[in-house]
């Protein structure tokens, strides 16, 4: 990646996720937070307590997820929970 491209990413507005959509490629939980890893290298996170079903789920239930909405959301079938990138960023209802 060029230096100018790196500079643009490091100063980018996180809302760019919706302007320039990039799929979710990974999900992790650490230190009371959920993190979504994006295909372009960005990672976004939020306190897990904001999502009671995920907060109360077992590690096995949390590990069983799949992408939805062209990769712009995540679904956990064992607990019937959906989470969109927009919601995680506080940009949706």
Give residue limits of the domains in the chain: 3-88
Closest CA to 14 of 41, 50, 42, 47: 42
- CATH number for 3-88 (one of 3.30.2020.40, 3.40.50.720, 3.30.420.40, 3.40.1010.20): it is 3.30.2020.40
pLDDT in tens, 47-80: 999 999 999 999 999 999 999 999 999 999 999 9
Structure tokens at 89: 């960023």
pTM of this structure: 0.76
Residue 23: Cβ-neighbour burial (10 angstroms; 0-12, 13-18, 19+): middle
């Amino acid at each position: 990646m060029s230096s100018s491209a790196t500079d643009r990413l490091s100063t980018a507005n996180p809302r760019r996720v919706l302007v320039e959509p990039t799929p979710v490629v990974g999900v992790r939980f650490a230190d009371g937070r959920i993190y979504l890893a994006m295909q372009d290298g960005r990672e976004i996170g939020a306190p897990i307590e904001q999502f009671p079903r995920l907060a109360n789920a077992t590690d096995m239930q949390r590990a069983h997820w799949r992408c939805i909405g062209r990769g712009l959301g995540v679904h956990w079938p064992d607990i019937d929970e959906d989470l969109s990138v927009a919601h995680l960023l506080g940009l949706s209802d």
